[in-house]
Amino acid sequence: MPKEDATELVSIDGREVRVSNPGKLYFSKQTKLSKLDLVRYYLSVAAGALGGIRDRPIVLKRYVNGAEGEAFYQKRAPAQRPSWLRTITLAFPSGRTAEEIVVDDAAGLAWIVNLGCIELHPHPVRSEDLDHPDELRVDLDPGPGVSWADVRTVALEVNSILEQMGLRGWPKTSGSRGMHINVRIHPRWTFDEVRRAALALSRAVERRAPTLATSKWWKEERHGVFLDYNQNAKDRTTCSAYSVRPLPDARVSAPLHWREVPDCDPSDFTVLTIPKRFDEIGDPHAGIDAAPGSLEKLLELAAQDEAAGLGDAPWPPHFRKTDTEPRRVPPSRARSSSSKPVAKAPRTKMPLIVVANSPSKEAALAGLERWRSKHAEIAKLLAADDVLVDSMRGRSSSWTRIRINLRHVPDELRPINEPPDPDNDPTREWRKTRPSKKAT
């Protein structure tokens, strides 16, 4: 097909959206789906998908080469866009601003999917008030080796505490290995206050289920299911309801009723199954906007934690350090606070080595397997959570970093810290240009 003819016009409520390269495969392994198939999927569940993004600025996470290709984040709205698609200007913690897309209808939804937005990443604010979120987001992130049953158990503990706090949670699968619980709130509190409430909630769940849940920010300190309170910091986004995730089976972040949580299986919810489910039962989150709540009780719990000596917890690395935040350094790099000279450098708490850096998760995992083959005897000594697979995110790019925790490996058997293979950190050159913190 000639390049100029490789488009299809889709008519949506009186508006036309041009889908370029409609037959291009965006999923080609376990499931075969074209770009046009994805547009049609989103239109089939538009009433539900719009419930999570309507009237919200949205970050465009673009997979221009499909789900198996590399993604990049685009905050700024494309210069070439329909006149009916509105934008709004956001200010970020860095002091920068960006004019971001706001999607209000199914035509706008189809338009951003045509850009390669497999996932939807809205901010937790409405366009009329960009400083006060109307949603607290609970992100349950299971560590390596953690079972889906444990994720569900932690989700039910979250729901129990939310009910005690006078709040209603709306659960959904993340579309990967975890779960999300969205909590509508009145837009009265700042981002910092919402994050503070989320941290108190995470710590409360950790106290309830100490063997299953953790609120620890540093991966080397975690176990079980991590409650990522920092998803409530300003400028952070998570995938919204009905988002398609870049997994081989085209899995979907599926809204659930609480009665479904104890027995649900995330693999049941895909692009191929969700439209039928939507037609049969409707949207389990249809009433979410009618149930906003107050953060007062969670903030009272936060005050109790602080009075007991539990202060702030680490923020994401690109945020300015707060006065009450602990040292922003992982335990593996923490040095002795003693001012007395020592004969040799103190041993780090967690012996970590980086084995792979790559924008391609598959390439990073292949590097991990090469490391395992090269160090087969050492690999046998590792626990499941000794392999740390980090999804790293820069300003406009993402990559996978894989580290190995050698805590279970005797000192005399530990390998030297070799250069990662592969070693492609897309932010390295940018970081080299940043002014040194030691500069005067």
Task: For residue 284, say if its preceding peptide bond is cis, omega within 30 degrees of 0.
Answer: no
Please state, in angstroms and as integers, the Cα–Cα distance from residue 390 to each residue in 144, 220, 356, 359, 427, following that order: 11, 11, 10, 11, 15
pLDDT over threshold 50, residue 308: yes
pLDDT score at 94: 76
Q: Shortest CA distance to 243 belongs to which of 38, 8, 2, 417?
A: 38
Burial of 384 (0-12, 13-18, 19+ CB in 10 A): exposed
CA distance 437 to 144: 34
Residue range 42-67, pLDDT digits in tens: 999 999 999 999 999 999 999 999 99
Name the more confident of 433 and 91. 91
CA distance 21 to 18: 10
* Least confident piece of the model among 1-5, 30-34, 371-375, 407-411: 1-5
CA distance 103 to 109: 6
Q: Is residue 240 part of a domain?
A: no
Name the more confident of 328 and 43. 43
Q: Is residue 298 part of a domain?
A: no
* Least confident piece of the model among 182-186, 307-311, 385-389: 385-389
pLDDT score at 429: 63
Q: Is residue 29 part of a domain?
A: yes
Q: Which of 131, 162, 182 is the last residue of a domain?
A: 131
What order do you get walking across the sheet with 387-393 strand by strand? 352-358, 398-405, 387-393
CA distance 26 to 64: 9
Q: In a 3-state reduction of DSSP, which class is residue 41?
A: helix
Q: Is residue 194 part of a domain?
A: no
Q: Shortest CA distance to 52 belongs to which of 124, 100, 129?
A: 124
Burial of 307 (0-12, 13-18, 19+ CB in 10 A): exposed
Residues pairing with 181 in the sheet: 138, 171
Whose tokens are 């699968």? That residue is: 173
How large is the angle between the packed helices 148-164 and 191-208, nearest 10 degrees? Answer: 120
CA distance 193 to 338: 35
CB-based contact 216:230 (threshold 8 Å):
no
Query: What is the phi-psi region of residue 235: left when phi exceeds 0, alpha when psi lies from -120 to 50, beta otherwise?
Result: left
The arithmetic mean of pLDDT across residues 79-94, rounded, is 91
| Tally of domains within the chain | 2
pLDDT over threshold 80, residue 337: no
Q: Is residue 110 part of a domain?
A: yes
Provide the token pair at 206: 């950790």
Residue range 141-185, pLDDT digits in tens: 998 889 999 999 999 999 999 999 999 999 999 999 999 999 999
pLDDT over threshold 70, residue 37: yes
* Least confident piece of the model among 91-100, 139-148, 295-304, 428-437: 428-437
Percent of residues, the chain, with pLDDT higher than 90: 64
Q: Is residue 332 part of a domain?
A: no
Q: Which of 131, 153, 172 is the last residue of a domain?
A: 131
CB-based contact 255:282 (threshold 8 Å):
no
Q: Is residue 40 part of a domain?
A: yes
pLDDT score at 360: 84
pLDDT score at 219: 82
pLDDT over threshold 90, residue 415: no
Burial of 114 (0-12, 13-18, 19+ CB in 10 A): buried
Name the more confident of 72 and 429. 72
pLDDT over threshold 90, residue 426: no
CB-based contact 246:119 (threshold 8 Å):
yes
Q: Shortest CA distance to 231 belongs to which of 254, 197, 265?
A: 197
Mean predicted lDDT score pLDDT of the chain: 88
Confidence of residue 322 (pLDDT cuts 50, 70, 90): confident
Q: How far does Cα 236 stand from its chain's mean position? A: 8
394 Cβ neighbours under 8 A, 6+ residues apart: 426, 427, 430
Q: Is residue 118 part of a domain?
A: yes
The arithmetic mean of pLDDT across residues 319-343, rounded, is 62
pLDDT score at 399: 82
pLDDT over threshold 70, residue 438: no
* Least confident piece of the model among 58-67, 283-292, 368-377: 368-377
Q: Which of 131, 150, 165 is the last residue of a domain?
A: 131
Confidence of residue 349 (pLDDT cuts 50, 70, 90): low
Residue range 133-151, pLDDT digits in tens: 999 999 999 988 899 999 9
The arithmetic mean of pLDDT across residues 284-313, rounded, is 94
pLDDT score at 390: 80
Residues pairing with 423 in the sheet: 357
Whole-structure pTM value: 0.79
pLDDT over threshold 90, residue 440: no
Looking up residue 96, the CATH number of its domain turns out to be 3.90.920.10
Residue range 218-271, pLDDT digits in tens: 888 888 999 999 999 999 999 999 999 999 999 999 999 999 999 999 999 999
pLDDT over threshold 80, residue 87: yes
Confidence of residue 326 (pLDDT cuts 50, 70, 90): confident
Burial of 107 (0-12, 13-18, 19+ CB in 10 A): buried
Q: Is the dihedral of CA 75, 81, 86, 89 positive or negative?
A: positive
Strands 25-27 and 33-34: antiparallel
25 Cβ neighbours under 8 A, 6+ residues apart: 32, 33, 34, 66
DSSP string, 106-142: HHHHHHHHHTT--S-EE-SSBTTBTTS-SEEEEEEEE
pLDDT over threshold 70, residue 17: yes
pLDDT score at 425: 79
Amino acid at 51: G
CB atoms within 10 A of CB 396: 14
Amino acid at 21: N
CA distance 305 to 299: 10
Confidence of residue 4 (pLDDT cuts 50, 70, 90): very low
Confidence of residue 95 (pLDDT cuts 50, 70, 90): confident
CA distance 197 to 188: 13
Task: Please give the residue range of the domain that contains residue 61.
Answer: 3-131
